[in-house]
Structure formats: structure tokens, C-alpha cells
Amino acid sequence: MLPAAGEPVGSHEPGEDPSVTLFRAYLRLRTVQPEPDYDAAVQFLEQMAGELGLGCQKVEVCPGRVVTILTWPGTAPQLRSILLNSHTDVVPVFEEHWAHDPFEAFKDSQGNIYARGAQDMKCVSIQYIEAIRRLQAEGKRFPRTVHMTFVPDEEIGGRTGMELFVKRPEFQALNVGFALDEGLANPTDAFTVFYGEKAPWWITVKCEGNPGHGSRLIENTAAEKLHRVITSLLQFRESEKQRLQCEHLTLGDITCLNLTMLNGGVAFNVVPSELAASFDIRIPPTVNLQAFEEQLAAWCRAAGEGVTYEFHQKYMDQTVTSTEESDPWWKAFSGACRDMHMTLECEIFPAATDSRFIRAVGVPALGFSPMNRTPVLLHDHNEFLSEGVFLRGIEIYARLLPALASVPPLPAEGGE
């Protein structure tokens, strides 16, 4: 239950920073897939809008799936805006593997807060809100409008969330010039910034062959063909692993391929006429997608007749965001980080986030979660974030937002 209007969200513990209390209250909302309590999240965000005097818009992109937009108007609203995006849903948990209730937001004696979504990515949502609260308290205003979007269903691919939202007139009306979205923790002193993403391809390869009785050595079976396909793809996987180890690349630089499902067969003593294997493939923007599909087709042809493949997801946009100092957005972002003596490591995101939909409509976006000296625990058991790292993230956003929201007018906006 959320408190009544005007009451603070979360019970404040003696000596605890109010921002941490708010963070823990947000973590307790069970927005867990496959049945997330989105109504609770929207109510929470509406209360935040009321506390901060921000505009609040709700856009239902499909039944039961609402994008909540909180807006802090700029002094020059004709300029393109800054978008701070985060998703409200979290992935499922296996509670038997957790040391604490994953929706209690337990804080241990070292200040580590254990909860599903602590890193992915409810921390960032509250850091946005608290950074704006801090800037408002200081009486700050900036030329560019800042929008915070809180979107559903990112954890199941974003197709019923951001992918639909960017196609709607309500998104166009935000007039976004630059966006921030989620990144990953970094166990070192550095902070990781993601300027692009891999293209996720999900394919199923179907192999047809001669059926018969399990006691016979039948020729040209579906299993033999499937074996050839799997061998070809897993050999490619091994070669990419070798590149990762020998060429000092990051996971975002190579193509990741995994066999994730096998289907077929009707009985122990029946040789099936069809078998299928499904693969999750993540392709970096440095790879020619047409050439890669031609390679897939060649592997299937080499396996024999009756071998086909079909796509369940085929993302083709390979847009990346500039990290050149000549780019005004990157200059503002990286300059603010330098002023804070932050070391940045620029990479391609190894998986997929809503940033890909934002970039695909022409808006530059960076994936950034200000979590250094922190193990990468998204989707893992006992996901946690230190309250010290969390509070430092608010300070970082409170420095980044003034820099980004004060980028001078660009040529397309009538500037010099």
C-alpha cells in the first residue's frame, strides 16, 4: 500500500538518508514479471510528480501498459529536451537462492541493499528523481526541458513498452534531443558508458528428415542434419570466444551465440521426421548483418535438404551514438564526468535495452548506470547495491543534468 497523498513514501529509519528510504520503498513494489504490479508504480510516480511539482502524463501504449512521463520544464522549451529513461519492471526471482526477501529491500550492516531491481534498474529511477529534487532545492533552472520516462515491459523485450511509445505522437511531442538509459555496474574504479547495442536475433532452425523405427539405422535423418547445424553454429561460437580472449575485446565487440531450446520427437522408438533448435544471437554493430544472414543460410544448406530457419526476433538497426569530442552531447556528458574525476570506459552493450528503440528513431542515447566498485548482479540471485554507491549516483546526475540541459542551441534548433 502507498501512503495517502501528502504523506512521505517509505518509513524513515533513524540516520538513514531520505533518498535511500525512497529507494527502498520503490524496491518494495512488486513490479516483477510476468505479472508486474504496474498500478503501484504509476501511483508512486504520480506522488513523486506531486512532491516535485512536475508535470505528469500517462500514455497507455497497449492495454494495461502505461508509460509515465514526469516533466521539468526548461526556460527555453523550444529547444530539444533531455530524456531520462528507466523501466519499472524487474525480472523474476528464485527466492530459495536469496539470503533475504527480494522485495523487502533489506539493508545489512555494511549498507548493502538487497532487492530485485537494486541494480536493474530502480536505482537509476530514484537517482533521476532525487537529482532533480536536489537541483530544484538549489533554485536551479536550465534552458532545456527534462523528461523522465518510466516504461513497462523492458525485461520482456520492450515490444509492449518503449518500442510502441517511440512511434506515438506523445513521444514526438517530447521533442527529445538526447537520452540517457540504463547501463551496467563496473567492479573497478571506472564507470561504463554504452554508446550502442548488439542486434538481437532469435532464430529456430528446423530440420526435416526420414522417419522410421528406432531399431533401424535410417539414412538422412533430421537428427543428423540438426547435428551438422549445431556443430557449425557452436564452432562459430567457439571462434568468437577465442577472439574475446586473444584480441583484448569486450563482450560487446563479439557476436554471442547460444543454443537455448531443442524441440522434437514423439517416442523413444520413433525416429522423428522433424527436429528443431533455437538460438539466441547478439550481433555487434561492427558486423554486416546481411553477410551474417548469408552465413546462417550457408550453414543450413550445408546440413542437407529440408533445413530451414525462421526468425522470432530480427533487429536490424545498428545506430550508435557518437563519442567524439566534437559531438555537443558527448562533450557535455564526458566533460561533466571529467570534472568529477570519473574514468569512463566506452563499450557496446552486450545485451539489449530500450536505448535501441530510442536510437532507431534518430535520438542519440547513452547507457549509463553510475555504479562503480560494484559487482554486476543484474538478474542474479542476491542482487544488491551499496547505499554509498547509490547516493554517489545522485551526486553524479546532479552534475550531469545541468551540463546536458544547458547544451547551447544546435544548428537545427536555430543556433550558431
Q: Please state, in angstroms and rounded to a whole number, the distance separating the CA atoms of residues 24 and 26.
A: 5
Ordered alpha helix ranges (H), 247-386: 289-303, 328-339, 355-360
Q: Please state, in angstroms and rounded to a whole number, the distance separating the CA atoms of residues 410 and 416.
A: 7
For residue 219, how many C-alpha atoms fall within 13 Å in the half-sphere facing its CB?
A: 1
CB atoms near residue 223 (< 10 Å): 15
Look at residues 72, 74, 77, 71 and name the one whose alpha carbon lies nearest to residue 58.
Answer: 71
Can you read off the three cell numbers belonging to residue 54? 512536475
**Contact call for residues 194 and 354 (beta carbons, < 8 A):** no
What's at 17, amino acid-wise? D
Q: Please state, in angstroms and rounded to a whole number, the distance separating the CA atoms of residues 207 and 274.
A: 6
- Which CA distances in Å does 276 have to 82, 222, 272, 281, 297? 45, 9, 11, 16, 15
Sequence-separated (6 or more) residues with CB below 8 Å from residue 152:
36, 38, 61, 65, 66, 67, 87, 88, 89, 160, 161
Report helix, strand or coil for 319.
coil
Residues catalogued as catalytic: 89, 154
Angle of CA points 258, 261, 264, to nearest 5°:
140
Can you read off the three cell numbers belonging to residue 216? 533401424
**Contact call for residues 142 and 74 (beta carbons, < 8 A):** yes
**Beta bridge pairs of residue 411:** none
